[in-house]
Amino acid sequence: MEDRKAASGPVLEWRRGRVLASAAVLVGVLLAFPAVVPDAVGNLGSLLETFLPWGGLAVPALLVLALARRSATALVALVLPAAVWAAVFGERLLPADQGAVHDLTVLQHNVDDGNPDPAATARALAGAGADLIALQELTTGALPVYQAVLAPGHPHHAVVGSVGLWSEHPLTDTHPVDIRPVGVGPDWNRGMRSTVRTPSGDMAVYVAHLPSVRIRLPGGFDTGWRDESAAALGAAVTAEEVDRIVLLGDLNATLDDRGLTPVTSRLTPAQDGFGFSWPAAFPLARIDHVMTRAAIPVTTWTLPATGSDHLPVAARIKL
C-alpha cells in the first residue's frame, strides 16, 4: 500500500495547513478592506495602504508553503486572496491606450534638490512632448538651468518657493497655495496655482509638494504633516472657482492611502497601470500624481529615470 502511495505522488491532506489557510483568508480581507486596519497605533493602516499592491506577493509565498505542507485546505483558501488581488489590481496590468484622443499632455516631476545633473534632467523633460511641466524641489542654484533649457518649448513659466510650472500656453493669476502644516514657518512654500489659457479654455493648474513621511521608532509611520497638508490642498481645490482643474504634484502618498482622501475625494486621478514612481532605482510606490476636475485623464505612464530619486510621470488629458 505504501508503494502505491509513493507511485501516485504526494497526497494532499485536508486536516493540514489550517494556520496557512487562516493567513490566506486574512490576506484576502486586508487586500479587499484595508480600512479595517486602524491608524490609531503607528498609522499602520496608512502604511498598509501605501504598499497595498505588493500584498499580492503573499499569494505565491503561501502557495509554496501550502505545497510543502501538502495542505488541500490552504490551497483552496488561497483562491480568496488571489481573486481579490485580481479584482482590485488586475486591470492595472492591461496596457494603456497610447492612441487615446486627448487635448493636452502634462508632465510631473520631483527633480530632487540633490540632483547632480539638473541640465540633463531638464533636457529629458523638454524632449518629452508635454504641454505643461510641473517641477518640485527646485533650488536657487538649479532654477536658472531649468529656466534656460525649458524656455524654448515652454516660454511661459511661474515659480513659487520650490515648485514651478512651465507651459506652452500663457499663464495668468499665479499665486501661492498655503498648504503648510501647523508650526511650519512662512518660508516653506510648496504649493502654487496658475490659470493656463489653453485653446480649449481656461484651466486652473495646481502644483504641490506635500511633506514627506517617515517610519520612525518608536512612533511608527509618521504622516502627520503630510495629512495636514493634504487637507489644506483639498480645501483649496474645493474652493477653486474655475471649473476645470489639473493637479500635478509629489503628494508623498499613494491613491490607496487614506491620508490622501481630502484630495482624491475631490479630483479624478490618472491611474493607468501601477505607475510606481519612487524610489527611482527600484520603484515601490506611486506618490507622484496627476489629477483632474471637469477633465478626463485618458492615460498615464512613467518616463525613464533622470538624476532624481523620483521618476517623471506623464499623462494625457481630454478637455
The secondary structure element, H or E, covering residue 245 is strand 245-250
Residues in the chain: 319
Instruction: For the chain, state the CA radius of gyration.
Output: 23
Alpha carbon distance 125, 246 (integer Å): 19
Q: Give me the mean pLDDT over the 281-289 stretch.
A: 97
Whole-number Å distance between alpha carbons of 229 and 204 = 19
Q: What is the pLDDT of residues 125-161, one digit of tens each?
A: 999 999 999 999 999 999 999 999 999 999 999 999 9
Quick one: CA torsion of 143, 149, 154, 160, rounded to 10 degrees?
0
Q: Looking at residues 63-77, what average pLDDT do you find?
A: 95
**296-312 average pLDDT score:** 96
Contact between 297 and 269 under an 8 Å Cβ cutoff? The reply is yes
The pLDDT of residue 6 is: 47
pLDDT band at 9 (very low <50, low <70, confident <90, very high): low
Choice between 216 and 179, residue whose per-residue pLDDT is larger: 179
What mean pLDDT, rounded, does the chain reach? 94
Residue 204 belongs to what H/E stretch?
Answer: strand 201-209
Parallel, antiparallel or unpaired: strands 201-209 and 245-250: parallel
**Per-residue pLDDT reduced to its tens digit, 93-106:** 887 776 778 999 99
C-beta atoms surrounding 257 within 10 Å:
28
CATH 1.10.730.10 fits 104-318, yes or no: no
Question: Using an 8 Å Cβ cutoff, are 125 and 312 in contact?
Answer: yes
Average pLDDT over every residue of 40-63: 95
The confidence score (pLDDT) of residue 10 equals 67
| Residue 137 near residue 170 (C-beta atoms within 8 A) | no
The reported pLDDT for the residue numbered 192 is 98
* 5 vs 111, residue with greater confidence: 111
Report whether pLDDT(3) > 80.
Answer: no
pLDDT at 257 over 60: yes
Instruction: Give the model's pLDDT for residue 219.
Output: 75
Which of 28-37, 60-69, 88-97, 301-310 is predicted with the least confidence, judged by mean pLDDT?
Answer: 88-97
Q: How confident is the model at residue 13 (pLDDT cuts 50, 70, 90)?
A: confident
User: Helices 18-32 & 79-89, crossing angle to 10 degrees?
Assistant: 20
Mean pLDDT, to the nearest integer, of 168-177? Answer: 98
- Residue 226 contacts residue 46 (beta carbons within 8 Å): no
Residue 237 binned pLDDT confidence (cut-offs 50, 70, 90): very high
Label residues 65-101 b or e (16+ Cβ within 10 Å = b): bbeebebbbbbebbebbbebbeebbeeeeeebeeeee
Question: Measuring CA to CA, how many Å separate 11 from each of 8, 61, 310?
Answer: 8, 20, 49
pLDDT at position 8? 52
Of 134, 287, 178, 136, the C-alpha closest to 223 is 287
Across the beta sheet with 288-293, the strand order is: 171-176, 191-198, 201-209, 245-250, 288-293, 268-269
Question: Amino acid identity of 232?
Answer: A
Q: Which of 273, 266, 272, 271 is nearest to 245 (CA)?
A: 266
Residue 12 is predicted with a pLDDT of 75
Mean pLDDT of the 47-72 span: 96
Reported pTM = 0.92
Percent of the chain residues topping a pLDDT of 70: 96
pLDDT at 1: 45
- Torsions phi, psi for 94 (to 5 deg): -75, 145
Residue 7 has pLDDT above 70, yes or no: no
**CA pair distance 250, 135, nearest whole angstrom:** 9
